[in-house]
Amino acid sequence: MTARHYSPLDQLLINLDQGVRTVFGRPQVTERPNPAKELPDTEMEDREREHTARLMRINHTGEVCAQALYQGQALTAKLPEVRSKMDRAAKEENDHLDWCESRIGQLGGRKSLLNPLFYAGSFAIGALAGAAGDKWSLGFVAETEHQVESHLEDHLEQVPEEDRRTRAILEQMKEDEMGHASMALAAGGAELPDPIKLAMQLTSKVMTKSVYWFRVECQPGRSG
């Protein structure tokens, strides 16, 4: 089967559509159910509930960024052998986005006002990484996923043991991110230079701190 070729205008419209869906709408998810779906909700103190909702807001914005990175990269990277795996990984990021949004709503929290800004920035970074060549682009995916995994571990330490819904989502996300990192490394991802890793860590620190405090109303009625 021959791959379909899109004009630059088609690509621009496709990317705009994906960006708007990611930030404001319902992105395309996989067949997997929300891991928290069958679990009972938990009584929590207001302070704990609010803190957990804010952590999930950070994770939600992280998934907005992940989606933007994958889309930006898809625009510029070649990656012929792993294209379908990358597409699957991007869809799994949409699952994460959906699960986080659903949990934020259940916890009475709100999504971040800054998501469009982070989407745009991450899209540009993804496109740059893709243009740098496949081994760097895949190395960038692997490093991003490792950093996300360590965030998730940190959040799992902060979320109360009895909050099984949040924990189930975070555990599944962590497993998925590890899978994405392994896929990128197995496909030839290179180890990034330390200054780039450091810059990525600093960027994510700015994101997590700002998103913890700034917010906008969450749309109700998501799955889960």
DSSP state of 132: T
Q: Which is nearer to Fe ion, 44 or 104 (CB)?
A: 104
How far apart CA 67 and CA 64 sit, in angstroms, is 5
How far apart CA 163 and CA 43 sit, in angstroms, is 8
Q: Which is nearer to Fe ion, 25 or 108 (CB)?
A: 25
Structure tokens at 209: 């701190």
* β strands within the chain, DSSP E: none
CB of 164 to Fe ion, least distance (A): 20
Residues numbered 80-119 forming contacts with Fe ion, rule: CB under 5 A: 93, 96
DSSP state of 5: -
Sign of the alpha-carbon torsion through 44, 165, 97, 130: positive
Asked if 158 contacts 212 with a C-beta cutoff of 8 angstroms, the reply is no
Angle between helices 46-76 and 8-24 (to 10 degrees): 170
Residues numbered 170-189 forming contacts with Fe ion, rule: CB under 5 A: 177, 180
Angle 52-177-213 from CA coordinates, rounded to 5°: 30
Residues numbered 42-71 forming contacts with Fe ion, rule: CB under 5 A: 63, 66
Residues numbered 118-177 forming contacts with Fe ion, rule: CB under 5 A: 145, 177
CB of 33 to Fe ion, least distance (A): 16
- Polymer length in residues for the chain: 224
CB of 110 to Fe ion, least distance (A): 20
CB of 59 to Fe ion, least distance (A): 8
Q: Quick one: CA torsion of 46, 47, 52, 58, rounded to 10 degrees?
A: 120
CB of 14 to Fe ion, least distance (A): 21
CB of 13 to Fe ion, least distance (A): 25
**Cα Dmax for the chain:** 57
DSSP state of 108: T
Binding site for Fe ion (CB under 5 A): 63, 66, 93, 96, 145, 177, 180
